[in-house]
Structure 1
Amino acid sequence: MKVAVIDAQGAGLGQAIIKKIRKEIAHNVYIIALGTNTFATSNMVRSGANVGISGERSICSFCKTNKIDSIIGPIGIICSSDINGEITPLISKSIFNMDCTKYIFPLQKHGIYIPGTRNLQIKDIIEEIVLDIKNNSI
């Protein structure tokens, strides 16, 4: 199973996701870290991703030419010019157009509020995503 994790800035969320996948699923999944910058990418690779890809051009190329089972990231990844401008319109369009399951963290940031998500804890969201990936990889 191939899973991409995309994050920006320091990739704190991406690191937490990758560590949990490695702990729960171990080596049954190939993880691609998609970082909007080299700092985010290297942090995710250090957390256990198999490979890292950095920058707009490389991320868009990856999204257009690779088949993956799922992609995981904060809600800002599908919002053009979000995450302090690190998610460009090309990145968000490339992600949105991928033919895979998209696990989106409903963080109450970026001016977006999804009703029913107010009391969700990040650790619980990560747990649910990893459980779903685990169930689909069997």
Structure 2
Amino acid sequence: MIIAVVDGQGGGIGKSIVERLRTEFPKGNVRIIALGTNAVATGQMLKGGADDGATGENAIVHNMKQVDIVTGVIGILNANAMMGELTPAMASAIGASSAEKVLLPINRCGIHVVSVEEASLGRHIDNAVSVIKKVIAEHRG
């Protein structure tokens, strides 16, 4: 299974997601790819334990055809999110990907997810990892 973590700006949320995923899935169990909208974000996620990393629009668009799961904040589906770092092509590729999308309901980028519990970032990441574990278990059947 290949999990893509998409993040931009400083890469802090992506790094936290990667660290938590790496705790649940030691190297060799799943492949975690860090896809950053910029080199700083990619670098942070690599420091968090991602197996590979790539940066920019082409990297994100290209890899969406190959990953099984994509995770990040819900804004990665929104063109021009992350202060314009997430291009329309990136958002379109993520949205059109056949990968399972496990998104954190962070109310930024002009998107407000309703009927979702208010929780800390850490709790949202824990919830996302739980869903990813379930998806992997169902896939392995």
Tell me the TM-score normalized by structure 2: 0.90
Runs of 5+ consecutive residues of structure 1 not aligned to the other structure: none
Match of 1:59 in 2: 60
Q: How far is the alpha carbon of 1:39 from its aligned partner? A: 0.8
1:116 aligns with 2:90: no
Separation in 2, partners of 1:58, 1:22: 22
Q: How far is the alpha carbon of 1:135 from its aligned partner? A: 3.0
Letter of the structure 2 residue corresponding to residue 16 of structure 1: S
Match of 2:35 in 1: 34
Q: How far is the alpha carbon of 1:78 from its aligned partner? A: 0.5
Q: How far is the alpha carbon of 1:47 from its aligned partner? A: 0.7
Q: Is the 8 A contact 2:103 2:128 kept in 1?
A: no
Match of 1:46 in 2: 47
Match of 2:127 in 1: 128
Separation in 2, partners of 1:134, 1:62: 21
Could you say what secondary structure the match of 2:80 adopts? Answer: coil
Match of 2:3 in 1: 3
User: Residues 100-111 of structure 1 correspond to what in structure 2 (within 5 A)?
Assistant: 100-111=99-110
Match of 1:20 in 2: 20
Separation in 2, partners of 1:93, 1:73: 15
Tell me the TM-score normalized by structure 1: 0.92
User: Which range is displaced more, 86-95 or 125-134?
Assistant: 125-134
In the TM superposition, structure 1's runs of 4+ consecutive aligned residues that sit over 3 Å from their partners are: none
Letter of the structure 1 residue corresponding to residue 90 of structure 2: I
Runs of 5+ consecutive residues of structure 2 not aligned to the other structure: none
User: Which range is displaced more, 116-125 or 82-91?
Assistant: 116-125
Separation in 2, partners of 1:86, 1:118: 28
Q: How far is the alpha carbon of 1:29 from its aligned partner? A: 1.2
Separation in 2, partners of 1:9, 1:47: 16
Deviation string for 1:79-104 (max 9, x for gaps)?
01111000000000000010011011
Could you say what secondary structure the match of 1:21 adopts? Answer: helix
Match of 2:72 in 1: 73
